[in-house]
Chain A
Amino acid sequence: MRTVDRTTDRALLRDIGALSVAIIAVGASFGAIALAAGLPVWAVLAMSTVLYAGGAQFMAVGLVAAGNPLAAVLAGLLLNARHLPFGLTLGDTLGSGWRSRILGAHLMTDETTAFALAQPEGAARRRAYWLAGVLLFLAWNAGTVLGVLLGGFAGDPNRLGLDAAFPAGLLALLLPVLRDPDTRRVAVVGALAAVLLTPVLPAGLPVLVALGGLGVLALPRRKPVRPC
């Protein structure tokens, strides 16, 4: 048992490590961009530690720089509303005590959730959540500090194709769950709706609208085709 646990841990660490490298680079670009937008260093670092939500951070920097702080708050909260259903799904994955809930909740991101849900329920899922949660938090904050120090030298992560790495990584983590036919049908319909509505809805809403895909489950099932 021990060796099995160790090999899965090693594999998990390697996978999380791969994503951490990408997150350091994107964190560095956040640090550099926020600093260039005129935010003081303390605010840049506070965003990555206290808010810790990449999409909302980039959005807030843009809107604050454009002189629209109220929009920054509202748009950021709309973008982060998806964490509520994530938390409902994860439940006691974080642990059953208050300490692990209070600390664990702060580490919740799309990637942490995906790493956790890719594991079978129970101890393995909890381990994946915490390993990914802690390492990705450290990576994002290390990246932010690096970006603040390097400034304009941090470079553009899109030149490295990292904007393709994140969706590909998420999909890879989702594949085992998507092998369930019901989940796959709902996810495909939901994702399609989200993509089509992205040009017309504010950021964050398309992902919530995707939940409408659950309606597919209410449709009558196609009868299994009998081989003749």
Chain B
Amino acid sequence: MLIAVILALAVGTYAFRLAGVVLRERADLPDWLARLLPIAAATMLAALAATAALTEGGAFAGIARPAGVLVGLALAVRRAPFVLVVIAAAGTTAVLRLFGVA
């Protein structure tokens, strides 16, 4: 049973991953669609980041995590190095939790 679950998930996920790449090569996409695709990908990644920053299991994630993400975002907007963005975001959240802020 377990092996069937893992295989079904693996095959299905891989099919999604490969299908997009192959479709792009095979089909001659109209210009308007080719122009929209990078915007669509950025939008999905932004939506992932926003939901990951603000929600946990369908509910509000609490204060500590969004606060850390906000600090990271502020640094990124000021063109701080990526490493600093990631460390500052994690550090802020970790310190807030240390002081009991959820």
Which A residues lie at the B interface, using CB under 8 A? Answer: 14-15, 18-19, 22, 39-40, 43, 46-47, 50-53, 56, 60, 64, 69, 72-73, 76-77, 80-92, 94, 96, 101-102, 104-106, 108, 110, 113-114, 117, 158-175, 177-178, 182-183, 186-188, 190-195, 198-200, 203, 206-208, 210-211, 213-214, 217
Q: Which residue of the partner chain, among B14, B37, B52, B55, contacts A199 with CB atoms under 8 Å?
A: B55
Contact B16 A102 (CB under 8 A): no
Q: Which chain B residues (15-49) contact chain A, with CB distance < 8 Å?
A: 16-25, 36-49
Q: Which residue of the partner chain, among B17, B22, B46, B59, contacts A190 with CB atoms under 8 Å?
A: B46
In the complex, what residues of B have CB within 8 A of residue A91's CB? Answer: 21, 24-25
Contact B76 A161 (CB under 8 A): no
Contact A174 B45 (CB under 8 A): yes
Count of A-B contacts with CB under 8 A?
293
Size of the chain B interface, CB-CB below 8 angstroms: 73
Question: In chain A, what residue has the closest Cβ to B29?
Answer: A88
Interface residue SS majority, chain B: helix
Known A-B contacts A72-B9, A87-B23; A195 and B16 likewise in contact (beta carbons under 8 Å): no
Contact B51 A60 (CB under 8 A): no
In whole angstroms, what is the CA distance A191 to B43 when docked? Answer: 7
In whole angstroms, what is the CA distance A43 to B38 when docked? Answer: 36
